[in-house]
Amino acid sequence: MAGNILYIPYTIVMIIGLIILGAVIIFKKSKTAAKNFFIFSIPIFILFQFYFWNLEFNDYVKSYLFPSKVFECEYVEELKNISIPLPERTVFKGKSDGCSLFYSTYVNVSEFKSFYQEELRTLKSKGIIQEYKYTELSDNDGTENKGFAAELPSGSKINFFIQRREGSGLISIAYEPNN
């Protein structure tokens, strides 16, 4: 399933461009040049289409080429100056104009746990967070969420949880203001 409806016209334009470019090469040069063009361009075209239409492959490639490095939220006053690191190979999921709560990741639970133990220890020593603890929760559908609850100096909380699924995981970051 497509991640964006604009992939449909994009795909059509790519096919038309590929056909036009191939036709120009056939008429301007030899058929051998056209054959070589199609031998290289069609697999590249297929790879690009697979990248855009297959969301899991898209996340996998992004986790190497364009991973998300930190969680930042400029729309919540208390979180404006807080930058929370994310594990390697973590991909932003959501809208870029908001505080995304969800990230796709390819780290396992033990890597997630050791990464955030170290990062939260560092944030605590800098005075950004007051306290943190490891916790495990189960949803009504039996899904296990493992992660940390960190308390800010104001008493507000930030929860970091990972939910594993086949091949990857989903990190959720939730802010709970102090009431």
- Compute the mean pLDDT over every residue in the chain, rounded to the nearest whole number: 85
For a pLDDT cut of 70, what percent of the chain falls above it?
Answer: 93
Residue type for position 58: N
- Looking at mean pLDDT, say which of 22-26, 71-75, 108-112 comes out highest: 108-112
Mean pLDDT of 141-167: 85
pLDDT of residue 3: 61
pLDDT of residue 125: 94
125: which residues sit within 8 A by CB, 6+ positions away?
Answer: none
In SS3 terms, the chain reads as CCCCCCHHHHHHHHHHHHHHHHHHHHHHCCHHHHHHHHHHHHHHHHHHHHHHHCHHHHHHHHHHHCCCCEEECCCCHHHCCCEEECCCCEEEECCCCCCCCEEEECCCHHHHHHHHHHHHHHHHHCCCCCEEEEEEEECCCCCEEEEEEEECCCCCEEEEEEEEECCEEEEEEEEECCC
Residue type for position 24: V
Question: Which of the pair, 47 or 94, is modelled with greater confidence?
Answer: 47
pLDDT band at 126 (very low <50, low <70, confident <90, very high): very high
pLDDT band at 94 (very low <50, low <70, confident <90, very high): confident
Whole-number Å distance between alpha carbons of 82 and 85: 10
Whole-number Å distance between alpha carbons of 111 and 98: 27
Please check the confidence at residue 136 and state whether its pLDDT lies above 90: no
pLDDT of residue 64: 93
pLDDT of residue 123: 92
Please check the confidence at residue 163 and state whether its pLDDT lies above 60: yes
pLDDT of residue 25: 81
Burial 19-51 (b: 16+ CB within 10 A, else e): eeebeebeeeeeeeebeebbeeeeeebeeeeee
